[in-house]
Amino acid sequence: MDAIRSGLALVVFLSAAMVPAAELDNAISVYKSGDYRTAIPLLEAACRRDQTDEHVAAALLSALVYDGRVDQAADAADADATAFPNSPEVIAARGEFAFYMSDMPEAERLFKAAVKLNESTPRATYGLFRLFRMASMYRTARLLCLKAHELDPDDALITSSWLRYLVPERRKELLGPFVAAHPWFYKRMAQYEQTTGDVQKELKEQKAFELVGERKEAALHLIYLHDDPQRVRGVGLELAIEGGKRLRLLFDTGASGILVTQAAIDRAGLTHVGSWVAGGIGDKGLRNTFFAVAKECTIGTLQYTNCTFEATEGKGRLAGDEDGLIGADFFSDYILHIDFQKHTLLLTPQPERPENPQGYDRTVPAEEAAFTPVFRAGGHLYVSTKVNGKNSGLFLLDTGSSLSNIDSTFARLSTKIHGNDWLRVRGVSGEVKDVFEADKAELEFGRFRQRNLGLTAFNLNNSPDHQEFRMAGILGAPVLSLFRLTIDYRNGVVNFDYILDSHH
């Protein structure tokens, strides 16, 4: 009987030990799949059972970061720094949090510290890949992504980036099954593929915006756009579709491509093609859009064929009374020289270089040695900025914004904010409800320091979609117009030529 009791006790003990192990394996498996929202409660339970497991702590912090849970992630990052000061996995996860909060110097420091402790830390290598890609170091970024996938081929987040670097045939073979198994990474994949196919049919498989004539230096006239007769909203360019009436487009370094109103498309008699969404400043969320293709168009003195436009659905305007906006990245094949005082956009063609599937790293010519490196995400350019000498974050360069803004969450780290019932902010996604004013803000970016800058504070990070990082603020037209700007999209550098300096 004693032997039976001993045997039963052993079975119970082993079962109790095996259940947590099975649950832990499941939590890590769900985390590796990239289903972070499902993984978080599983990892939290595992952490409660064993607070000494550095792998679980790192996974939980990474999951909280990806899901955008700022307060929880901040608490976890602080606690993990104390509990696991020498764990490369935890240090890498803390780097992910710094990256998400757009503190790129701190993110780089932590990722490199993790690699120094263990060069085979997958998420540290992947974190450096994301940093280098945003820093226009595309060749190095590609190598880092390939290495990260080699270190952990089961990490779905790493795999989702790795797939982009495969040859088209191999990517096509693997992408379908991967998307089916990881739908949380590809929320609008079917809609995107359908619309892309529809637009390509309308283009008859030809290249969009084919420049007529030789690509050479061009000077485009910038026009003033107003919110009202007394207030300048920004500068713009004129667009004519198939010889029609000239449209006024806000010239916007904080936007990408060309977005116009439905009225502009309908007046031109163009067919609505596909469906997509666009978002921006405002609390109304994403707006439905469609595309349209014109045989030809002119932008300033430049003429193009196969012109493709995105347009907002319905009668609503964009943010102001302009007909649309044009992102500065539309001219990314050129070096852009923006002179607000002379109302001129000078375009200098980039030197030709052969296609390279491995990508190019940033190469800064001698004449750009004093330029400020910036971070690029899609068509957007961000400059690392310190507020009141304290916290560092990424501020969007946005000539299309009539105000300079700071994210309300980021603002609380370095200054005081208070409500202002008179402030009104409106963007592509409608009006902003909760608007605040920062007491005092001193901004440092590049070689410059702007004191006593009035900043409007509100939530700049309310997108319903996943964000790679949180935008800390916006350098709008009031700040950027103090400079002559030279933008080199290819190499990810910007020159801020302070106008008053050149007058001395």
Q: In this predicted structure, what is the pLDDT of residue 106?
A: 97
Q: In this predicted structure, what is the pLDDT of residue 15?
A: 41
Q: In this predicted structure, what is the pLDDT of residue 435?
A: 60
Task: Write down the pTM of the prediction.
Answer: 0.89
Return the structure tokens found at 233.
């909203």
CB atoms within 10 A of CB 421: 6
Intervals of the chain under pLDDT 70: 1-19, 227-231, 279-285, 316-320, 414-439, 452-454, 501-504
Q: In this predicted structure, what is the pLDDT of residue 428?
A: 47
Q: In this predicted structure, what is the pLDDT of residue 461?
A: 84
Buried b / exposed e along 330-352 (16+ C-beta atoms within 10 A): bbbebbbbbbbeeeebbbeeeee
Q: What are phi and psi of 316, to 5 degrees?
A: -65, 150
CATH no. of 366-502: 2.40.70.10
Q: In this predicted structure, what is the pLDDT of residue 427?
A: 47
Q: In this predicted structure, what is the pLDDT of residue 474?
A: 92
Q: DSSP of 289-357, one letter per residue?
A: EEEEEEEEEEETTEEEEEEEEEEESSS---SSSSSEEEEGGGGTTEEEEEETTTTEEEEEEPPP----T
Residue 301 contacts residue 249 (beta carbons within 8 Å): no
Domain with CATH 2.40.70.10 in the chain: 210-349, 366-502
Rounded to an integer, what is the distance from CA 337 to the centroid of its chain?
23
d(C-alpha 387, C-alpha 360), whole Å: 33
Domain with CATH 1.25.40.10 in the chain: 21-186
For residue 307, what are the β-bridge partners? 294
Closest C-alpha among 356, 465, 471 to residue 408? 471
Tokens 């606690």 sit at which residue? 79
Please name the fold of domain 21-186: 1.25.40
**CATH says 210-349 is which class?**
mainly beta
Look at residue 452 and give its three-state secondary structure.
coil
Strands (E), 455-492: 456-458, 473-475, 483-488
